[in-house]
A and B are shown apart, each in its own frame.
Chain A
Amino acid sequence: MKKLFRTLPLLVCALLFGALPAWAQAVSFSDPTGDDNGPGGYTYPTDAVYKAGSFDLTKFEVNAKGDKVEFEVTVNSNLDDPWRMGVGFSVQMIFVFIDTDGKEGSGFTDSPPGVNVAFAPASAWDKCVILSPQAFARVHQEIEAKGGAMQASLLAPNRVRGSGRTISGSVSLSDLGGGDPATWGYQVVMQSNEGFPADNDLLTRKVNEFEGQHRFGGGTDGDCDPHVMDVLGEGQAAMLAYECNADGSSKKKATLTMVRKG
């Protein structure tokens, strides 16, 4: 009996190895390192769990196979799970915005609550995949409660995982509206997983004027600044440039554009 117990897992592993999938289509983007400072002056929270490079997006990859599309986001620091989220990472949260139709003005030019960015009309997004270490049900409930008109376009993978420096999750191609992922436009927004978000934030961590133990610094105490540490592509500082009115409301919102292959 003991021998059986000792050999059974090996058999299971062997079976699993036999079932390894082969990926078909892949789209890959790289992002400069050292730009995990939002518009240029954002700073990390002071708690030791926020390791340097944790929010520095370095690579984004889309893999499509059959009806599944997997999104992989790589950061400039090894992933840790200090809050025991159980998926291999804790502090990051990522929004993957997708322009599936490439039509100007088609889709959303605003962002989910707590991100505080806009999208250029030519880069309006149609779908957004949220890679969060929170349980699927929590993310889903947040989307339901705070997603508003975007609700149906915000997607949470059933399972998200972190390994090495890469966070990944997949959704079905049909939920993304079908099509060829290689032709879509993408924007990736690096945020942080906040288990106790403000009423109007979708699991996002705030950026304030001064950093705190669990708050980013370098922005403003209002919501006129983008609550974003890194985005995909060149020209990040220009995209994330913003202006505030004296009362803290937005005068000019940070405006993102999509990145496309080819």
Chain B
Amino acid sequence: MRSRSRIWLAVLGLLGLAAGSALAEDTQKLTWSGVDYTKFLWSTARDSGGLYSFTTIPSEAYGNNGQGTELELLLSAKPSKHVEVSGRIQSRFNQNFWTNFGGFGGRSNFIDPNNPCVSGDCGEFDSRSAQYVKFRGLTVTLRPGYSWVDQVTVGSSDWGMFDPFTIGKIRYIDRDNGSGLLFQGSAAGRKFTYDFARISLPRLWAGPNFQTGTYHAQDAAYGLQLGFTPSSTFDITGVVQYVNDIEVDNFDRNRDDGRDIRTRFRNTVVGARLGVHPSSTFDIRAMYYKSSADSIPELGAPANFFGLSGFSPVPAGELSDDAIKLNVDINDPFDNGLSFSIEAFDIGAEYVSMMAARREADVLLTEGHDAAWAFPGPSNAAFGVFGGNPTRIGYGGWQGSAQQVATINVDNEFTDFEEPMAETVIGWKGFTIVPSWTIGDLELKAEYSWIDYNTNWQAFDDPSRSVTSSVFPVHELDTGVGHNFRSAYAPFQDKETKIAVLSGRYLIDVGRGVDLFGKIKFVDETDKRLNEARFLPYQAGDCPGGGGACAGNRNFYSTGNTTADIYGNPPVITVNGVTGYQWKPFDSLSDDDRDLSYMMLQLGAGYQLSNRLYGSLTYEYYDAELEDGNTAFQAYQLHELASGDHQKNKVMLYAHYDLGGAEFGANYEYNFGDFDPDFGSGFVVQFADEATSASNNVPVGSPGFRGRFGGWNSLETRDFEQQRLKVFMKVRF
């Protein structure tokens, strides 16, 4: 017995030694690094809900004042040559203000849906203000050395190996929010490559109604990408994306054999990308994607949306459509620095890819709309006719022009004003021509884009249905100066957009070189919206005028369906002895017409002031003459009417200082301008009472009109003046 024990001890000892030496051989150092990202926000808008400029998410906070710090810790290790690990933990700005004094205390009734936690007032009771540090992502990369697979990734990824039309690079708060499995392989010297992924479906937004149902744990998106690059002059890639949002079948009463499942939402995209690169002069790329999607209402997916206020990342029901793009680049054909880029595109109205890029991608060549006009109201407010809906991103909007993404699931959440804004291009079709000319220190670039819309239709393209029961979510609807970033659908649309841009950049050879830049941009946009008389809400002559009440004889465009459901007749009112309609009756096809004449001018200069400090000063002037419907249309009753003349000025001062390991940036904006409303005639002007003044922030006694839903549209000329500043420090250690 004793000898047996000794043998076992010897064996264990040997095993221990072997293990010890193996550990000594394979143990790699764990590398930690970190980032301190400290942000200072200041604005005369005085919002202090959170340390981000923008969110649309209910119960989330936004703001433009305050100081806060994010701590990010990154770790990496290589246990063996076959295995690599990287991970990240990080705190979050959100409501973690320095003024929280470490995030202690706070409101005790912190779980109150009617009183959400904002501005850090829930202190340590809400993780968004308790300075918590959160596990963000962990990635294990395995390289087993088999011929059929180069590497397997388990865990977090931004999935940037696919493309923005199918599975786009994902960033919600972080670039590693998404997790899954990824297999990548190649053959014939990487002439053939494949990527296969199973991504756990983000329950936060990747399904109808921004959710994936009750049973989310096995929901997934699958991606397969096969690439063939036989030479540097030709490549072709096939890609498939499949999203499967499943639910437990509640009709399956027999649980003894497990439980059946049913699909709540499925989405398939099949596509191909072709590249022909015959010479350094010509480059041709073509892309084609075919999508289909299906939502099942009995499993909780919406069957339709209330016509004027639907929100969802995908239309309801069965959908099928294409997205096509062709790019031709002609590089310096005359050997004089003049090049051309040409793009033709056609993105279907019902094109759906649930995992398409939501931001930080730019699928079209055009620079699109300017981010200074991101939301419907003159101040970038949405639903601003109702009290309590002030602008979030501010009068200045975001900086620059919008990036284009092929989804209505656009995500600009938790961004600051100097970050890029994304806009949807669902339904866009047309072409863009961009000549560019580089001669010495001068760069000139122009653009002409013509955009038509696959979403040009009447009654959501289905006159058999009520306009208040559409399968298309309209989000913030398409009113105002700019293109509301996630609005692709409107009940009635007959729209056309032309964009012309000329930009230049020149380096003046003085000192370290003065960088001069400028741009002039024109947008001409028309939208006839409701353009057939059969869709007018009431029969001709229904409202006689002269103080006479409207008869209320509805006009039905199909059995039981009438636009009177949204464009109801006005009551007769008397104000200061004037009797007439509260708003103009919708009795003309021109009542909702849109005609935008838009000009933007930018001039700026930048200079490297020292080896460490760069500064630039930019001035932008915007002039928009907009007819966007009259008081009959009322911007769909939900938003501020923006018809009239808009002038906006942005003075931007930018500075960047690099101290080697510590980086500082400052972005200051002085935004000022005015809006001179012109809402047409045919209504009796009302004057704001004390309650209206308090809820809509207009002077008592100021003129305006009250719409169908009780919203207030001011007729006062509005003068805007806002300053804002973002300063950041990033220290890498």
Which A residues fall within an 8 A CB radius of B? Answer: 2, 5-6, 8-10, 12-13, 16-17, 19-21, 23, 33-34, 43, 46-49, 52-53, 56, 58-59, 68, 74, 76-78, 84, 135-138, 140-142, 144-145, 158-159, 161, 163-165, 196, 209-213, 221
Contacts and interface: CB of A to CB of B under 8 A. Distances in A.
A33 B232 contact: yes
B332 interface: yes
A77 B285 CA distance: 12
A202 to B, nearest CB: 12
Given A19-B506, A158-B608, A161-B443, 11 more contacts: A2-B599, A5-B599, A5-B623, A6-B601, A16-B506, A53-B277, A78-B283, A137-B656, A163-B339, A164-B436, A221-B81
Interface stretch (B56-64, B156-164, B448-456): B156-164
28 contacts: A5-B599, A9-B518, A9-B520, A12-B603, A13-B444, A13-B502, A16-B506, A19-B442, A21-B439, A34-B232, A46-B161, A46-B184, A52-B229, A53-B277, A58-B280, A59-B280, A76-B277, A137-B611, A137-B614, A141-B658, A141-B660, A161-B443, A164-B339, A164-B436, A164-B438, A165-B331, A211-B150, A221-B78
Given A52-B229, A141-B659, A211-B150, A16 B504 contact: yes
A50 to B, nearest CB: 10
B601 A213 contact: no
Contacts of A211: 150
Given A9-B502, A76-B280, A140 B518 contact: no
B705 to A, nearest CB: 29
Interface string B393-427: 00000000000000000000000000010000000
Contacts of B640: none
Contacts of B441: 21
Contact of B190 (A43, A145, A163, A164): A43
A76 B232 contact: yes
Given A20-B440, A68-B509, A159 B515 contact: yes
Interface string B588-627: 0000000000010101000010011110000001010000
A84 B184 CA distance: 27
Contacts of A77: 277, 283
A94 B502 CA distance: 30
Contacts of B84: 212
Interface of B: 78, 81, 84, 141, 143, 150-151, 157, 160-163, 169, 184, 186, 190, 195, 229, 231-232, 235, 275, 277, 280, 283, 329, 331-332, 339, 420, 436, 438-444, 502, 504-507, 509, 512-513, 515, 518-520, 599, 601, 603, 608, 611-614, 621, 623, 656-661, 663, 732
Contacts of B163: 48
A187 to B, nearest CB: 22
A220 to B, nearest CB: 10
Contacts of A9: 502, 504, 518-520, 601, 603
B660 A145 contact: yes
Given A2-B599, A12-B504, A78-B283, A137 B613 contact: yes
A46 B161 CA distance: 6
B572 to A, nearest CB: 40
9 closest Cβ pairs, A-B complex? A137-B658, A141-B660, A21-B440, A9-B520, A164-B331, A47-B160, A140-B611, A210-B143, A163-B438
Contacts of A213: 157, 160-161
Given A9-B502, A47-B161, A163 B436 contact: yes
A84 B277 CA distance: 25
Contact of A49 (B160, B184, B277, B442): B160
A221 B329 CA distance: 38
Contacts of A19: 442, 506
Nearest to A53: B232
B518 A12 contact: yes
Nearest to A23: B440
Contacts of B513: 158-159
Contact of B658 (A84, A140, A158): A140
Contact of B601 (A5, A43, A59): A5
Contact of B420 (A56, A84, A196): A84
Contact of A20 (B150, B329, B442): B442
Contacts of A141: 611-612, 658-661
Interface centre among A10, A47, A59, A74 (most CB of B within 10 A): A47
Contacts of B502: 9-10, 13
A91 B681 CA distance: 56
A74 B280 contact: yes
Given A6-B520, A46-B161, A137 B608 contact: yes
A13 B519 CA distance: 10
A78 B513 CA distance: 27
Contacts of B78: 221
A20 to B, nearest CB: 5
A45 to B, nearest CB: 9
Contact of B443 (A21, A163, A212): A163
A137 B440 contact: no
Nearest to A75: B280
Contacts of B162: 48
A168 B83 CA distance: 39
Given A20-B439, A47-B160, A159 B507 contact: yes
A13 B504 contact: yes
A142 B659 CA distance: 10
A78 B280 CA distance: 9
Contacts of A48: 160-163, 169
Contacts of A23: 440
Given A46-B184, A47-B160, A164-B332, A138 B507 contact: no
